[in-house]
Structure 1
Amino acid sequence: MLSLPKKALLSLSVISLAMSATFSVAAEPVKSVAVTAIVEHPALDSARDGILHALNEAGFAEGKNLKWQYQSAQGNTATAAQIARKFIGDSPDVIVGIATPSAQALVAGTKSVPIVFTAVTDPVQAQLTPSWEASGTNVTGVSDILELEKQIELIKEIVPEVKNIGMVYNPGEANSVAVVEAFKELLPKHGLKLVEAAAPRTVDVSSAARSLVGKVDVIYTNTDNNVVSAYEALAKVGNDSKIPLIASDTDSVKRGAIAALGVNYRDLGEQTGRIVVRILNGEKPGDIQPQTSENLQLYVNVTAAEKQGVLLPLSLIERATEIIR
């Protein structure tokens, strides 16, 4: 019987181990996740980054066992529909729609590919799900809906003499329409009135804000994507006209709002990512109840308050999660 030298046997063993390791890596299944957002701005970008972070935390990594795609519609609903058709045609394991228009485009395009929405205020109003219960469909997700009573309390704390609240919003965005309708019903109970200003496009935000000058005591902004994308234009009107701006998006405080009691969108993204992981691991989206975020944070901007003629209460500053000066 022919025997091999020890060096040859060692070399064969190394080669065998290397081949085994290569086969093991090649055999690891790759999951595909496609993400689309209606537009890029700090809140939605934070949500996107949070989704990827949660996937990484669960062991899904690009170049290893995850195929990750991301596209922004740049604020155009027709582009959102094109991206939705493209992603649905790719048949990934999960598609995530960030913000209502992108989520609506996805849900309209497929009843089979798993869809997870995020940064959507009211998924029922947006016709993404039939109710807040597990849908039994291919859709679930995370809402950024806020309790409006708390938003009104914040407005009255900052501007105690408030009577008329202005709101710039896109009437074509279901998120914003839902908030406007809820405010119309709620504000009169507090002796307050809503004054609306439509901004169907991002370029309309500044002129819509200017139309409120002399008519309102404060401008409140929800998570309307047109408004948030052009928040600096809105802040200029607030500063020039001494109209306080109060937001529901904490990232807008860094961009010129006086204050916001809102969702941390990085956390919202991570919460969304954990749902995506559950689906990648075999759960059906229709078995997962839509979720909301309970992690609200208070941001205040002392410099913006000075520019808009407001002296912030010390008690508000002391409660703040973050103070921008």
Structure 2
Amino acid sequence: MCVASVAHAGKAVIAVSQFVEHPALDAVLEGFKDELKEGGVDVEYKIYNAHGNMSVVYQIATQIVGDKPDMIVAIATPTAQACVKQYDKVPALAGTPMLFTAITDPLAAGLVSNYEKPGGDITGVSNQMPMGEHLDMIRKFFPQLKKLGVIYNGGEVNSISSLKRLRPAAAERGVELVETTVTNSADVQQAAVSLVGNVDAIFIPTDNTVVSAMDVVVKVCRRSQTPLFVADTDSVSRGAIAALGFDYYLHGRQTGAMAIRILNGEKPADMPVEFQKKLAFHVFPTAAEKMGVTIPEALIKEADIIHK
């Protein structure tokens, strides 16, 4: 398939597969579209959302093949994995570039075999960050933290990768992780309830399934006065106490910049996987109060963004 050029008079057809609706992934798509618009790229988007349903994820991947797009963009690990499998099934996809974004561990997910030289038609932007930094952030609020509850989808590769990195970081800091897994958003409430009284605080990693049900976790934590911390900064405004993480809108813009380079003729095989380095510290004092926590003034002053 011929890759479109920005200078071409016709529109570039970009098929987007998003795993679930939640503020972080929505912000990625918004940033991506804004970057291409400001870059002067004329685009026809075909946007699909699986709403967290794995069977729908694979149906979308098949539909995208039928769209014959000039580029595929996969937002979150499950959708990226489903789209990658189509390259093995459909030889005609060869030469169609694919960008993944908001992916924690592209290697473990089988999207690329090398960060520096991805090879093939696939590259993108990862949201991986050192897990120890999350724990250090939580310990600023609770220096004596001993037990930390974690809720995640055991079927999401990105979450499994996060936990593999979180466990040794917790052990190094003398923190015991109390893990509970879910298979879909309907399981999240019971998972949160099961942690109440058994942990000092709850932490939600960048897990798409749990983040999509963040409002439920917030309600449980408020009722039980259990402090809630997150890796997804967009979830702070929804009621978590604090987060140290990415600006997902900028994450999308970074992905959009890669898309423009590809549409201008660069090959994904030669474009290293990119990582977003800048982290932002978000705090929400009012949310903390509703969970029985008063944030020290010194911590509020450290924050990059204070939610009200």
Q: Taking structure 2 as the reference length, what is the TM-score of the superposition?
A: 0.93
Contact 2:132–2:170 (CA<8 Å) still a contact in 1? no
**Partner residue in 2 for 1:198:** 181
Amino acid at match of 2:209: N
Contact 1:99–1:117 (CA<8 Å) still a contact in 2? yes
Amino acid at match of 2:106: P
Q: Aligned equivalents of 1:316 and 1:93: distance in 2?
A: 47
**Partner residue in 1 for 2:112:** 129
Are residue 108 (structure 1) and residue 89 (structure 2) matched? no
Contact 1:81–1:105 (CA<8 Å) still a contact in 2? yes
Instruction: Give how far 1:97 is off.
Output: 0.3
Aligned pair partner of 1:226 in 194, 206, 209: 209
Aligned pair partner of 1:30 in 7, 11, 15: 11
Contact 1:94–1:279 (CA<8 Å) still a contact in 2? no
**Partner residue in 1 for 2:68:** 91
1:43-87: per-residue Cα shift (whole Å, max 9, x none)? 100000111001111101xxxx32111110111111111111111
* RMSD of equivalent CA atoms: 1.1
Amino acid at match of 2:18: A
**Partner residue in 1 for 2:53:** 76
Aligned pair partner of 2:190 in 192, 198, 207: 207
1:148-178: per-residue Cα shift (whole Å, max 9, x none)? 1211110100112210111000000011111
Contact 1:166–1:219 (CA<8 Å) still a contact in 2? yes
What's the secondary structure of 1:295's corresponding residue? coil
Q: Aligned equivalents of 1:107 and 1:266: distance in 2?
A: 24
Q: Aligned equivalents of 1:318 and 1:131: distance in 2?
A: 40
Structure 1, unmatched stretches of 5+, are 1-26
Structure 2, unmatched stretches of 5+, are 1-7, 89-93
Larger Rg: 1
Q: Aligned equivalents of 1:272 and 1:51: distance in 2?
A: 6
Instruction: Give how far 1:42 is off.
Output: 0.7
**Partner residue in 2 for 1:273:** 256
Contact 2:242–2:282 (CA<8 Å) still a contact in 1? yes
Contact 2:16–2:46 (CA<8 Å) still a contact in 1? yes
Contact 1:100–1:120 (CA<8 Å) still a contact in 2? yes
Instruction: Give how far 1:131 is off.
Output: 2.5
1:83-125: per-residue Cα shift (whole Å, max 9, x none)? 1111122221110000000111111111622110000111011
Higher RCO (CA < 8 A, seq sep 6+): 2
Q: Aligned equivalents of 1:176 and 1:199: distance in 2?
A: 11
Contact 2:112–2:119 (CA<8 Å) still a contact in 1? no
Following TM superposition, the consecutive aligned residue runs of length 4 or more in structure 1 with deviations greater than 6 angstroms are: none
What's the secondary structure of 2:231's corresponding residue? strand
Q: Aligned equivalents of 2:169 and 2:288: distance in 1?
A: 26
Are residue 299 (structure 1) and residue 276 (structure 2) matched? no
Aligned pair partner of 1:317 in 276, 300, 305: 300
Q: Aligned equivalents of 1:127 and 1:316: distance in 2?
A: 39
Contact 1:141–1:275 (CA<8 Å) still a contact in 2? yes
Q: Aligned equivalents of 1:154 and 1:185: distance in 2?
A: 16
Amino acid at match of 2:170: L
Equivalences, count = 295
Are residue 41 (structure 1) and residue 18 (structure 2) matched? no
**Partner residue in 2 for 1:152:** 135
Are residue 138 (structure 1) and residue 121 (structure 2) matched? yes
Contact 2:153–2:159 (CA<8 Å) still a contact in 1? yes
Aligned pair partner of 1:248 in 231, 238, 254: 231
Identity of aligned residues (%): 43
Q: Aligned equivalents of 2:251 and 2:223: distance in 1?
A: 34
Q: Aligned equivalents of 1:159 and 1:247: distance in 2?
A: 15
